[in-house]
């Protein structure tokens, strides 16, 4: 697997939920900041290797094998992110770029030992689950804060958008994973929310709420 092949596989996985859905040539091109024609070329090559299912004009999905590879790359990416935050004191908005490089390092031993060093973490710094060695996923039952009705609330467990700008915004506003959040009011006009977070109250836009994952309080 070349670096480039791995990146295509990973992107196909991310766009079609877990690579099961067929995704369009254009969506891949857009996501990877490349041209549709380049995507077609690569997709043909991946189809040759039985990593994707591809029929002209019908979109692409991952095969069993392709899925395994995607999960492997994602596992590496997320473990490195944990490493960068836990061991090297990176902030959660700084890790992505570097992890994009580190995820392509080839060494099973390296990644197993890294996993051990980090004490087998289940989630990365953005709350995304880390696949285990066999590609097993721990899906959480979480919903977006924008879906929580007035009066409801829970623990903030993840972000949907993990762009640096969003993460920096959260830092600036003292919103982080593990925080207890309650929805106090929803503004009819623009969908903005008044939330209780810890001891404080805050007004946040609908867009913010639509990018925070909440685990509802049990029972």
Partner DNA sequence: TACTATATTTAGTCTTAGCTAAATATTTGT
Partner DNA sequence: ACAAATATTTAGCTAAGACTAAATATAGTA
Residue 25 binds to DNA (criterion: CB under 7 A) = yes
By the rule CB under 7 A, 53 interacts with DNA: no
Q: How far apart are CA 122 and CA 107, in angstroms?
A: 21
Q: Does 104 participate in binding DNA (rule CB under 7 A)?
A: no
C-beta of 87 vs 122, nearer to its own copies: 87
Please give the structure tokens belonging to residue 68. 């395994």
Nearer to its own copies, 97 or 185 (CB): 97
Work out the burial of residue 108: count CB atoms within 10 Å of its CB; fewer than 13 is exposed, 13-18 middle, 19 or more buried: exposed
- Answer yes or no whether residue 2 interacts with DNA by CB under 7 A: yes
44 binds DNA (CB under 7 A): yes
41 binds DNA (CB under 7 A): yes
How many residues belong to the chain?
Answer: 219
Interacting span for DNA (CB under 7 A) from 54-62, 96-104, 107-115, 189-197:
54-62
Q: Quick count: other Cβ atoms within 10 Å of Cβ 15?
A: 18
CA 5 to CA 43: how far, in whole Å? Answer: 9
* Residue keyed to tokens 């690579």: 19
Please say which residue, 57 or 189, places its beta carbon nearer to DNA.
57
- Residue with smaller CB distance to DNA, 58 or 205: 58
Radius of gyration of the chain (CA): 19
**Which residues of this protein are in contact with DNA, per CB under 7 A?**
2-5, 7, 24-27, 33-45, 54, 56-59
């Amino acid at each position: 697997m070349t670096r480039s092949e791995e990146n295509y596989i990973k992107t196909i996985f991310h766009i079609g939920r877990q690579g099961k859905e067929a995704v369009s040539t254009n969506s891949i091109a857009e996501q990877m900041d490349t041209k549709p024609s380049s995507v077609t070329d690569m997709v043909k090559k991946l189809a040759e290797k039985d990593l994707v299912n591809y029929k002209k004009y019908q979109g692409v999905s991952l095969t069993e094998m392709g899925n395994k590879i995607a999960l492997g790359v994602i596992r590496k990416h997320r473990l490195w992110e944990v490493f960068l935050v836990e061991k090297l004191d990176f902030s959660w908005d700084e890790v992505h770029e570097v992890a994009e490089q580190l995820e392509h390092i080839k060494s099973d031993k390296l990644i197993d030992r890294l996993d051990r060093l980090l004490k087998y973490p289940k989630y990365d710094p953005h709350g995304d689950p880390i696949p285990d060695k066999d590609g097993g996923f721990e899906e959480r039952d979480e919903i977006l804060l924008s879906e929580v009705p007035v009066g409801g609330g829970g623990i903030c467990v993840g972000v949907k958008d993990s762009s640096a700008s969003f993460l920096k915004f959260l830092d600036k506003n003292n919103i982080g994973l593990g925080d207890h959040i309650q929805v106090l009011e929803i503004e009819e006009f623009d969908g903005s929310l008044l939330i209780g977070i810890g001891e404080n109250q805050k007004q946040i836009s609908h867009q913010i709420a639509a990018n925070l994952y909440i685990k509802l309080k049990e029972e």
